[in-house]
Structure 1
Amino acid sequence: MNLNPRVKEYGSQVEILYTVKGSIEKVGGITLDGSKFPVNTIIKAGTAVSIQENGLAKPWADADTGTPYLTNHDVSTGDATTVNVIVGAWAEALVVESKLTGVTAAFKTAAAGRYRYY
């Protein structure tokens, strides 16, 4: 029997939406390509990703031609590079730009007005 106290830290997700009014969630979410994300990390809500030709999402790069999305909740990538994780995504939303990750001018152009930034 171990009587030493154990401490576990729980984090809280950052809310990226300015308002939920008018927001449209992508039905079924998106699947992240496990080989394109670091192992054992948390992908934060509001991370810019793009859908590749194989249907999997990878972190946004300015040269991407795939459909851009913003993730809508935090997700862990797991401990193996072959794990593909499903995460929710916003198809349209009014978001707080300072709380987003990986959003560039090229992302805003590619999204073509699907996201409005506050």
Structure 2
Amino acid sequence: MDLDLLELPGQNIRLLLPPEMRKTHDRGMADYLATGHRKVVGIGRELVAQRKDGSTFPIDAMVSEMFLGERRLFTGFLRDATQRKQSEQLLEETLDTLLERLTAVVGTPAAEMPQPTAATD
């Protein structure tokens, strides 16, 4: 995020969302306020955030709610999920490669499989 951390307190999380996601966020919050049905509040979600330069990146977001007297406040906890997503992608690619190799070995006729060599004295 290219935002100055001092810009964030008191701001709506929608400030970090790409324009095409802002209406969805607003509808979800309006629905929650009207019905209490939780889609975001109290539930962690992966979202896409947008930098000032327009580029996007994944974030893990959690919104919690609290009351100060009659005043309802929402607090957002955000974490850049880029490294986690890259690790997940690498793991998935590694598993796919291993599965392909295992399938190739299992599908190879026994006569063509490498035979263990006998130990020599």
TM surpasses 0.5: no
Higher helix share goes to which structure?
2
Find the structure with the greater CA-based Rg. Answer: 2
Q: Relative contact order, CA 8 A, sep 6+: which one is greater?
A: 1
